[in-house]
Structure 1
Amino acid sequence: MLELYQFELSQYSEKVRLILDYKGLQYRKIEVTPGIGQVELFRLTGQTEVPVLKDGYKYIVDSTEIAKYLDLHYPERPLIPQDGKQRGLCLMMEEWADESIGIKGRKALFSAISQDQSFRKALLPTSVPDVFKTFVGEVPNDLLKVLGFGVGYTPEVVKKAITDLQQDLEALCLLLADSPYLLGDQPTLADLAVAGLSILLKFPDGPYLDLPVSLRGKGAPGLADNPAYEPFFAWRDRLYAEFRKPLVDFKASTGATAPTSIEIE
């Protein structure tokens, strides 16, 4: 069985999960423990980033390379069109989504958790002790914003990311106004990339991620709750309903109860 080394809330991991589900491939999720798990991942692959797909003895790194690998070795339900122009548009849009929605989505999520104490508390894994969740929830919003300076998330940077994402969502709404998918009548890698990478803007309204039910349909203020972008998120949720395997189905088909964490042997 294919194995996906991942972070549950990584939008790039979600992009690959959506691709795997679209192709109807069974896989096992392996949750990489930040820090020590990444050391083990480096031992296996020579780098520390997720997602990484393992197929037999082969490790494939990077969500785009994983998509290309899957299309080559598991060609049923192709992701990338053969027509030259369609192929070019698909690859260009996928790259744009990685660099725009993917990167700026993290800043949008930071904006959400820095404004809402209950939101960031709910994002913590269920395994975290309640006393620690309470502590995190009580961290003042202003202090969290100050901490953002340390990772380059200044208020100006976050505000610019939100503004850029508003333009991105407006453009996507226009592209989808008279078409079921971004490049026409059939889904492509462009659709799956845009949909999967958008989870940090607004979490899907369904049981697809290992998150509290209360967070479904919630996201970054000004994006997730803006009626102007509802056509995009409605499209995204319809795509999920059509292709993404819900957690209950995923666990039933793989026998998994939760993602496996990797540690140093």
Structure 2
Amino acid sequence: MNTPELWQFTSSHFNEKARWALDFKRVSHIRHSLIPGFHVPAVKRMTGKTHVPVLKLNGAAISDSSRIIEALEAAYPDPPLYPSDPDQRRRALELEDYFDEELGPYIRRWIFHVILPYPKFVRAAFVSHASAAAQLAQRAMSPLIGVIMRRQMDISPATAEIARNKTIAAMDRLEHELQPSGFLVGDRFTVADLTAAALLSPLVRPPEFPYKTPAPVPEPLAKIRDAVATHPAYKWTLETYRQHRGESAEVTAQSSAARIKTDASQTATTGR
């Protein structure tokens, strides 16, 4: 079996969802960290789409974080993310779908509305891993990329307010769904917990998130975080990361080093 390869953005919550599943299952894998906007050619060649994450597994290029986890469950069943009990499994998958649809796109829209006026912070979050030349290229293209991202994610003050309300509603739903065990389904960590925590990570910014942003958090984002820091879902996300995020299963491969460097200088602006 070839070593799985993950094509990702470092600071994307749907990418974090796929990355966390690989790490949770201790699946040794190679990561290719791309730059938003420049990644399109490489990703489109693999999947015909422009979205990351993409996992190359057993010769197949799999896009969409939920499909990636489904494939990992089949190829690496232990430790499981799907409950063995049919009812619990159905509930976990329903919650995964709910957070994918009702939290993921909206928290992304809300956070980007806040941070896009701070291009240095955006570059630090998404481009700090890249070469100096790639960072300069992204800086030059930053105004255009910002326009494209606003259009693709439908970002405006009005849609951002809707996104804020949807995010808070999802956090309230998470609080309501929590079991006495502290998990969303049954008495163990499942795909539902992983999904909810990963998709809340752009707001909560847990210390265990694997890629640190080497720049101060913009004041508007800091104020938002302060405003929701007492919400049970916020506190639960911090604790879930602390207990379950674990260590990285990323490995390096000399044969892929040149390709990583090349692809990191290329640049979907969104992902699932």
Using structure 1 for the length normalisation, give the TM-score. Answer: 0.78
In 1, Cα distance between the equivalents of 2:30 and 2:45? 20
2:269 matched residue in structure 1? none
Is contact 2:82–2:191 with CA below 8 Å preserved after alignment?
Answer: yes
Q: How far off is 1:170 after superposition?
A: 2.1
Provide the residue aligned with 1:92 in structure 2: 94
196, 199, 224: which one pairs with 1:197? 199
Letter in structure 2 aligned against 1:153 = I
Aligned ranges for residues 125-140 of structure 1 at < 5 Å?
A: 125-126=127-128, 127=132, 128=135
Task: Please say if residues 40 and 262 of structure 1, whose CA atoms lie closer than 8 Å, have aligned partners that are also in contact.
Answer: no
Structure 1 alignment gaps of length 5 or more: none
On the 8 A contact 1:108/1:200 being kept in 2, the answer is no
SS in 1 for 2:91: helix
Deviations 1:239-263 (A, max 9, x none): 22333245xx656x5479x993554
Residue 260 of structure 2 corresponds to: 260
CA distance in 1, matches of 2:68, 2:119: 36
**Quick one: structure 1 residues 166 and 35, their matched pair in 2 at CA, closer, same or farther if it must change by over 3 Å?**
closer
Query: Kindly tell me: are residues 41 and 226 of structure 1, through their superposed partners in 2, closer, same or farther at Cα, counting changes over 3 Å?
Result: closer
Measured after TM superposition, the shift of residue 154 of structure 1 is 1.8
1:29-74 Cα distance to aligned partner (Å, 9 max, x none)? 1123445532122222322211111123222221111111111111
- Kindly provide the amino acid, as one letter, of the partner of residue 260 in structure 1: I
CA contact (8 A) 1:80 1:90 kept: yes
**How far apart, CA to CA, are the structure 2 residues paired with 1:10 and 1:243?**
19
**Offset of residue 166 of structure 1:** 1.2
Aligned-pair identity in percent equals: 28
Secondary structure of 1:228's counterpart equals coil
Alignment of 1:163-182 (within 5 A): 163-176=165-178, 178-182=180-184
CA-to-aligned-CA distance 1:138-182 (integer Å, 9 cap, x gap):
x9xxxx89x947852121110111012112212222333733211
Change (3 A) 1:154 1:117: same
Q: Secondary structure at the match of 1:260?
A: helix
Q: Any gaps of 5 or more consecutive residues in structure 2?
A: 267-272
2:67 maps to: 65
Question: Taking structure 1 as reference, are residues 250 and 90 closer, same or farther at Cα in structure 2, changes over 3 Å only?
Answer: closer
Report the equivalent of 1:42.
44
The farther-off stretch of 237-246 and 156-165 is 237-246
Which residue identity is paired with 2:167? L
CA contact (8 A) 1:208 1:245 kept: no
CA RMSD of aligned residues (A): 3.5
CA contact (8 A) 1:33 1:261 kept: no
Aligned residues: 250
Q: Which residue of 2 aligns with 1:243?
A: 244
Aligned pair 1:233/2:234, yes or no? yes
